[in-house]
């Protein structure tokens, strides 16, 4: 533990940069919960983040004053709902540095976004013998859709390896390209290890070969500033609920020329210009991908979550979370019998670990006894587990509302679990 983190910790309220974590915590009613007679220490943010009162209030306002179906009615409520719903595209554009709202597609989540690219782009442009490059760090949601496509089309998947720290091997990646490579799927931040991948550099490599890149940003957008224009990615996917917003909503950013070239994935209302039994004309982007009544209040809730996070500042959030990660890495790293899995130089606030002699599931159950919520298991990233030779890990993942004190509680709970197991 460094002297600096000790000093910060003793202060308890402000960290070194004056980030007032207690004021932020007051925005989140759920953080006041007691679990098993202990204050909740919610350290499972990579699975889903908690929702601030501002977003909850936005739901209430929508449901009490604004709800109707969108893009349909000429009446007052439909106009209000449509306006509020569409206004979120501009918020997402500002959040990702996108200049064309047509490039923002509402989906039900990251998985849905990736599946949309697979069906809309992959099924149209990838054929027998073609190749898809994915990294070993991908979440199952960026593996399985491409396997389904590969099986359907007779295409092949090539995998970018990583080193023992959990960093992708960029040189090996460069060697994977062939004239048959048609797309690259790449996670921005590993959900299991926290590695921040050098996506900008990797996108540039793909583009030199004329290959588009889909970035899974589910674990990145809550933790670091994302500028898709700077990255120059072709597609970028993320979910609302990891961003302090609701479940059931996500975003697919896609370059307009790709979206225009893509075939719709779901057919139905709202995605058409005209329908007859002889011929249907699809709507323009992004609407041609948004069939059916969308998750209107979830989209509006996502907009409120983006407003909330933007007001704090993603840079501020990142700095506080870096502090938490450094402190947690120091404290857990100092424990006998604890091994941190994923030690990349550039990491988001995810700490995966294993404890000698105690299975991650037992760790999770015993930590829950102390009010500490972590994730245990393979984190929907079994190739990562195989790469590191573990069946599962315990994973603490931090958000900007977590405190250094909660890192202490986590550390003490691990020590207690070791005592129970006498290891």
Catalytic residues: 380
Alpha-carbon dihedral 226, 227, 232, 235, rounded to 10 degrees: 50
> Phi-psi bin for 257: left (phi > 0), alpha (psi -120 to 50), beta?
alpha
- Of 171, 172, 199, nearest to 185 by C-alpha is 199
User: Could you tell me the smallest distance in angstroms from the CB atom of residue 241 to other proteins?
Assistant: 20
Query: x/- string (CB under 8 A) for other proteins, residues 20-39?
Result: ----------------x---
Of residues 356 through 375, those in contact with other proteins by CB under 8 A are 358-362, 365-366, 368-369
CA triple 186-190-196, angle to 5 deg = 85
* Cβ nearer to other proteins, comparing 17 with 361: 361
User: Could you tell me the smallest distance in angstroms from the CB atom of residue 390 to other proteins?
Assistant: 9
CA triple 386-377-326, angle to 5 deg = 90
Other Cβ atoms less than 10 A from the Cβ of 282: the count is 17
6 belongs to the binding site for other proteins (CB under 8 A): no
The only residue of 7, 90, 273, 420 in contact with other proteins, by rule CB under 8 A: 420
User: Could you tell me the smallest distance in angstroms from the CB atom of residue 64 to other proteins?
Assistant: 35
CA count, 13 A, side-chain hemisphere, 134: 23
* Cβ nearer to other proteins, comparing 82 with 382: 382
User: Could you tell me the smallest distance in angstroms from the CB atom of residue 41 to other proteins?
Assistant: 16
Compute how many residues bind other proteins; rule: CB under 8 A: 19
Q: What is the CA radius of gyration of the chain?
A: 22
* Cβ nearer to other proteins, comparing 96 with 381: 381
- Of 398, 357, 352, nearest to 376 by C-alpha is 352
* Cβ nearer to other proteins, comparing 153 with 339: 339
* Cβ nearer to other proteins, comparing 286 with 360: 360
Would the CA dihedral through 155, 184, 202, 349 be positive or negative?
Answer: negative
Other Cβ atoms less than 10 A from the Cβ of 1: the count is 12
C-alpha–C-alpha distance, residues 328 and 398, integer Å: 10
Of residues 375 through 404, those in contact with other proteins by CB under 8 A are 376-378, 385, 391-392
Binding-site ranges for other proteins (CB under 8 A): 36, 358-362, 365-366, 368-369, 376-378, 385, 391-392, 420-422
């Amino acid at each position: 533990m460094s002297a600096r983190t000790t000093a910060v910790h003793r202060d308890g309220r402000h960290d070194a940069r004056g980030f007032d974590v207690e004021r932020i915590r007051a925005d989140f009613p759920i953080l006041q919960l007691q679990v098993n007679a202990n204050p909740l220490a919610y350290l499972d943010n990579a699975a889903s983040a908690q929702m601030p009162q501002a977003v909850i209030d936005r739901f209430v306002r929508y449901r009490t004053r604004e709800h109707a179906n969108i893009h349909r009615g000429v009446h007052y409520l439909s106009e209000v709902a449509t306006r509020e719903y569409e206004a979120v595209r501009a918020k997402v554009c500002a959040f990702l540095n996108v200049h064309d709202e047509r490039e923002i597609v509402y989906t039900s989540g990251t998985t849905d976004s990736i599946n949309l690219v697979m069906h809309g782009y992959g099924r149209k442009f990838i054929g027998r013998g073609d190749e898809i490059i994915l990294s070993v760090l991908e979440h199952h949601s960026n593996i399985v859709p491409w396997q389904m496509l590969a099986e359907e089309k007779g295409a092949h998947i090539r995998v970018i390896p990583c080193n023992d720290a959990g960093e992708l091997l960029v040189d090996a990646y460069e060697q994977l390209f062939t004239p048959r490579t048609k797309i690259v799927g790449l996670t921005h931040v590993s959900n299991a290890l926290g590695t921040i991948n050098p996506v900008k550099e990797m996108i540039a490599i793909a583009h030199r070969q004329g290959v588009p890149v889909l970035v899974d940003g589910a674990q990145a957008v809550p933790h670091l500033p994302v500028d898709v224009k700077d990255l120059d990615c072709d597609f970028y996917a993320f979910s609302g609920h990891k961003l302090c917003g609701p479940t059931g909503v996500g975003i697919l950013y896609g370059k307009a020329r790709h979206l225009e070239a893509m075939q719709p994935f779901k057919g139905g209302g709202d995605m058409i210009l005209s329908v007859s039994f002889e011929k249907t004309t699809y709507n323009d982007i992004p609407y041609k991908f948004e069939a059916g009544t969308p998750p209107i209040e979830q989209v509006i809730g996502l907009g409120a979550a983006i407003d909330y996070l933007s007001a704090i500042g993603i840079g501020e959030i990142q700095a506080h979370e870096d502090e938490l990660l450094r402190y947690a890495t120091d404290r857990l790293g100092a424990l006998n019998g604890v091994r941190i899995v994923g030690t990349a130089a550039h990491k988001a606030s995810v700490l995966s670990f294993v404890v000698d002699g105690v299975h991650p599931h037992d760790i999770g159950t015993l930590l829950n006894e102390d009010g500490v919520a972590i994730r245990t298991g393979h984190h929907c990233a079994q190739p990562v587990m195989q790469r590191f030779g573990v069946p599962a890990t315990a994973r603490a993942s931090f958000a900007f509302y977590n405190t250094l004190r909660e890192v202490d509680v986590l550390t003490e709970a691990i020590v207690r679990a070791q005592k129970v197991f006498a290891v």
